[in-house]
Amino acid sequence: MEKNLTDLSTRESSPEILFRETRNDADCRMTNPLTLAFIGDAVYSYYVRRYLIAKTNMNVDHLTKASVNYVKAEAQAYAIHHMDNLLTETEKAYVRRGRNTKSIPPKHADKMDYRYATGFETLLGYLSLTNQNNRLEFLVAAAISICEERRED
């Protein structure tokens, strides 16, 4: 039986146990959207890197530069705008929560792109922490495909 992350008093200290812990939807609704975006950013970056390694035979420097075309705020905002028809109402609510959270965008990012990218990452964080891996991978694959199509235009 998996433990709930909100019960701090009974947490086990073993990293491998903590990796397996999940949150339910109620826990995620109580979680700061920027915390969900924090994990969502890492999850998306991981999948993009796996995709690029499988697709190409580039050196690490080129892989890093290629990944930017998928993970930068502008690309994530573009992807989430084109995924609206793929999202459930719950997923749209997580995107809105992340998008509407106050945060300071980096100087190089457009404010609205950054907000939508945060919404996208919030959604991915929610799916990851609730262990909805098939749905997570479907949406990540859709985002990568959208970014690929965008680059071809």
Question: What local confidence, expressed as pLDDT, does residue 153 receive?
Answer: 59
Check residue 85 and report its DSSP letter.
Answer: G
Please state, in angstroms and as integers, the Cα–Cα distance from residue 37 to each residue in 16, 64, 109, 139, following that order. Answer: 22, 21, 16, 15
Q: Which pTM was predicted?
A: 0.86
The residues carrying an active-site annotation are: 41
Identify the sign of the CA torsion 82, 83, 86, 92: negative
Q: Over the chain (153 residues), what is each successive 10-residue block's mean pLDDT? A: 49 70 85 95 97 92 94 96 96 96 84 96 96 97 94 67
Question: What local confidence, expressed as pLDDT, does residue 22 receive?
Answer: 83
Break the chain into its structural domains and give their ranges.
23-152
Question: What local confidence, expressed as pLDDT, does residue 116 receive?
Answer: 97
Q: Which CATH class is domain 23-152?
A: mainly alpha
Question: What local confidence, expressed as pLDDT, does residue 136 receive?
Answer: 98
Question: What local confidence, expressed as pLDDT, does residue 2 receive?
Answer: 46
Judge whether 135 and 88 are in contact, CB under 8 Å. no
3-state helix, strand, coil in the chain (%, to 5): 75, 0, 25
Question: What local confidence, expressed as pLDDT, does residue 107 receive?
Answer: 81
Q: What are phi and psi of 4, to 5 degrees?
A: -90, 135
